[in-house]
């Protein structure tokens, strides 16, 4: 059973990586998938809100403040559907930041599987404290 879960985890994370490639952002491309009861209920990548230009960086190369992170986009997509994140697993290529970790916990996500760790670990520390199961699954494991 555990081995089977790992197989799924690797496959979903691979899909999240693929999804991240759709991002228009230059500095960082992050992909996310939300899976519940073996079903993908949402997806997301980092980018500007709908209706805004696709450029994530300003003239100086800095990321614009209103760029939404991949996991925030995926959670918001669920929020505007009839689904709910309660008990779901989030697959994300980069570990969540402080802001997103709050959303993840509050949305009811119970598990986060990530491929690489963001330099600021406070998001992960927060999730751990909130009782969200964390699984670090680096890409090399393929
Ligand atoms: Zn974030």
84, 78 contact by CB (below 8 A): yes
Domain 1-136 adopts which CATH fold? Cytidine Deaminase; domain 2 (3.40.140)
Distance in angstroms (rounded) separating the CA atoms of residues 13 and 93: 7
List the catalytic residue out of 60, 71, 133, 142.
71
Cβ neighbors of 140 (< 8 A, separation 6 or more) are: none
63, 57 contact by CB (below 8 A): yes
**Annotation marks residue 71 as catalytic:** yes
**Local structure of 29: helix, strand or coil:** coil
Neighbours of ion ligand 1 (CB under 5 A): 69, 97, 100
Spell out where the chain has E strands. 31-36, 39-45, 89-94, 111-116, 133-136
Render each residue's pLDDT in the chain as its tens digit; 142 residues. Answer: 688 999 999 999 999 999 999 999 999 999 999 999 999 999 999 999 999 999 999 999 999 999 999 999 999 999 999 999 999 999 999 999 999 999 999 999 999 999 999 889 999 999 999 999 999 999 764 4
Domain coordinates in residue numbering, the chain: 1-136
């Amino acid at each position: 059973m555990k081995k089977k879960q790992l197989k799924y985890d690797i496959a979903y994370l691979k899909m999240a990586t693929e999804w991240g490639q759709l991002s228009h952002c230059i500095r960082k491309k992050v992909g996310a998938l939300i899976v519940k009861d073996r079903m993908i209920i949402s997806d997301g990548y980092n980018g500007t809100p709908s209706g805004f230009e696709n450029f994530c960086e300003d003239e100086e190369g800095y990321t614009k403040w209103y760029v939404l992170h991949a996991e925030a986009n995926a959670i918001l997509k669920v929020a505007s559907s009839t689904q709910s994140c309660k008990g779901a697993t989030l697959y994300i290529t980069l570990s969540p930041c402080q802001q997103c970790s709050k959303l993840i916990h509050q949305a009811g996500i119970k598990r986060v599987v990530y491929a690489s760790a963001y330099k600021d670990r406070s998001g992960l520390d927060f999730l751990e404290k909130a009782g969200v199961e964390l699984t670090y699954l680096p890409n090399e494991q393929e």
